[in-house]
Amino acid sequence: MSLRFTNTLSRAKEEFRALDPAGKLVRMYTCGPTVYRFAHVGNLRSYLAADVARRILEYHSYEVFQVKNITDVGHMRDDLQDQGEDKILFAALQEGKTPWEIAEFYTQAFLQDEKRLNILPARVFPRATGHIPEMIAIIRTLLEKGYAYEAGGAIYFDVSRFADYGKLSGNRMDKLRAGTRVKVEGDKQEPEDFALWKKAEPGRLMKWDSPWGEGFPGWHIECSAMSMKYLGEQLDIHTGGVDNIFPHHEDEIAQSEAATGKEFVRYWLHGEHLMVDDTRMAKSAGNFYVLQDIINSGFHPLAYRYLCLTAHYRSKLNFTWDSLKAAEIALNRLYDYMADWDEPGQTDEEWRQQFQGAVDDDLDTPRALALVWDMVRSDLPSSIKAALMLDYDRILGLGLDKVQRREKELPEEIAELIREREEARRSRDWGKSDAMRERLKEMGVEIQDTPEGPKWKIMRSGVVR
């Protein structure tokens, strides 16, 4: 079966072919968080899509070397208008901490969120502050090649010098200039030019020495420097949200390809926005959620993972508490089935290939989940269903391998308690009957009274309540 991704660069679905001559290694870069606050659930959806892509590649026996950066220099501003405070410095002032303390706290929070969502850890989590020399080296190369210029202590990339600018986003030079209605910032020559290095303003805490004086790097140069250090000058896959396409990824392409003279990335994968009650998520709208909000509302994080799998990564997903509840109910049903099925045996190749065909077709997880439920309802032996479910979960990542199987027979002590309770019920000693039900519940046994007599089951101690 061929694995296909929709490549933002070509705007088409393409068969995946690794750059590695041996065809075994995949170099994958994922734009990580800016660590001045908790990642919101929309950010996390993007990381979940990248995780599914990686799992599918590993399912195909590729060795995936994934790099996910940590942006711990808080200078993210609109490059055309350059408005807004330094986000990490602003957070530090608000919380009474140093910028480094802020960055470390939210880095650890992000890593914990990824673990809760069963996102496979990247091979490397490089931090921007640890790669200033690499950024300076690329900037020097761009200056030497004539793609950048110095102005007022800052270094800017001259977009007009890069003929392919706009090939990812479609924002070509004529469009940019036709739509420009802003004052040119600082000393840069044109509004579409973007900063590679910025001059440190008086009193700035996060700054570094450079050939152009004290300053700090531009946002885009960080990702080029960190990706090329660990993955080389050419990457197989670069992932991110659709909001990264322009200007961030467009500028990454320009500065990277101008510096090396090589194609930077073969496949660009971008995930769509998460909506909340059919509107964009924003603090001002009161619909801004982080993973801890989901947990505080009584849901397990993997219920959110399941919800994300119900929509294609390139389609908008509408988050509501009702949809999250439905996702958790569905996930708990899968856990219940796994707990009741026999030990895994052999898989069924036809069912396995159907599932693989879905996920191989540009990460079509909604179709894959539909096949999961078709398999569950089928008349396959439960040992085959269990084996298939574990195979599917290598990609879905729902923690189905952690589910404990229910015992088929009750221990004698519990069986005796059930008999005593039934005698109490026949004697209409409802107080004793209820007390024994609670005792059994504490022992992990759920009792259901039916006209045919009591039915019992061992309550699952699995992943979700």
Range of lowest pLDDT (60-74, 251-265, 300-314, 361-375):
60-74
In a domain, 183, yes or no: yes
Q: What is the pLDDT of residues 391-434, one digit of tens each?
A: 999 999 999 999 987 766 677 888 888 889 989 888 989 998 88
Single-letter amino acid, residue 65:
F
In a domain, 465, yes or no: no
In a domain, 391, yes or no: yes
pLDDT at 177 over 70: no
In a domain, 261, yes or no: yes
State the CB neighbour count (10 A cutoff) for residue 465. Answer: 12
Q: 69 and 23, same structural domain?
A: yes
Q: What is the pLDDT of residues 56-88, one digit of tens each?
A: 999 999 999 999 999 998 654 433 333 445 666
Q: 163 and 280, same structural domain?
A: no
Q: What is the pLDDT of residue 84?
A: 43
Task: Find out whether 239 and 144 touch, Cβ atoms under 8 Å.
Answer: no
**What would the DSSP string read from start to end of 336-397?**
HHHHHSPSP-PPPHHHHHHHHHHHHBTS-HHHHHHHHHHHHHS-S-HHHHHHHHHHHHHHH-
In a domain, 366, yes or no: yes
Q: 164 and 309, same structural domain?
A: no
Spatial distance between the Cα atoms of 141 and 32, rounded to a whole number of angstroms: 25
CATH of the domain at 261: 3.40.50.620
Q: What is the pLDDT of residue 83?
A: 42
CATH of the domain at 369: 1.20.120.640
Q: What percent of the chain has pLDDT over 90?
A: 71
Where b means 16+ CB within 10 Å and e means fewer, 11-26 reads: eeebebebbeeeeeeb
Tokens 């005792």 belong to residue: 439
Q: 394 and 442, same structural domain?
A: no
In a domain, 464, yes or no: no
Q: What is the pLDDT of residue 441?
A: 84
Q: Please report how the helices 349-360 and 382-396 are oriented relative to each other, as an axis angle in degrees rounded to 10.
A: 20
Q: 159 and 52, same structural domain?
A: yes
In a domain, 451, yes or no: yes
> For all residues of the chain together, what is the average pLDDT?
90
Give how far Cα 461 sits from Cα of 327, 338, 389, 440, Å: 19, 12, 19, 15
Q: 299 and 164, same structural domain?
A: no
Task: Find out whether 433 and 424 touch, Cβ atoms under 8 Å.
Answer: yes
Q: What is the pLDDT of residue 280?
A: 83
**Top mean-pLDDT range of 48-62, 163-177, 282-296:** 48-62
Q: What is the pLDDT of residue 129?
A: 96
Name the 3-class secondary structure at 304: helix
Where b means 16+ CB within 10 Å and e means fewer, 121-152 reads: ebeebbbbbebbebbbebbbebbeeebbbbee
Q: 213 and 264, same structural domain?
A: yes
Q: What is the pLDDT of residues 132-171, one digit of tens each?
A: 999 999 999 999 999 999 999 999 999 999 999 999 999 8
pLDDT at 182 over 50: no
Structural domain that includes position 416: 412-458
State the CB neighbour count (10 A cutoff) for residue 434. Answer: 13
Q: What is the pLDDT of residues 302-341, one digit of tens each?
A: 999 999 999 999 999 999 999 999 999 999 999 999 988 9
Range of lowest pLDDT (36-40, 91-95, 452-456):
91-95
Q: 319 and 227, same structural domain?
A: no
What domain count does the chain have?
3
Q: 159 and 32, same structural domain?
A: yes
Q: Cβ neighbours of residue 385 under 8 Å, at least 6 residues apart?
A: 337, 341, 375, 376, 378
| The two structure tokens encoding residue 59 | 């399912």
- Mean pLDDT throughout 195-202? 93
pLDDT at 220 over 60: yes
In a domain, 407, yes or no: no
- DSSP 8-class letter at 246: I
Boundary (domain end) residue, out of 209, 240, 271: 271
pTM of this prediction exceeds 0.85? yes
pLDDT at 186 over 80: no
pLDDT at 351 over 50: yes
Q: Label residue 1 by pLDDT band (50, 70, 90).
A: low
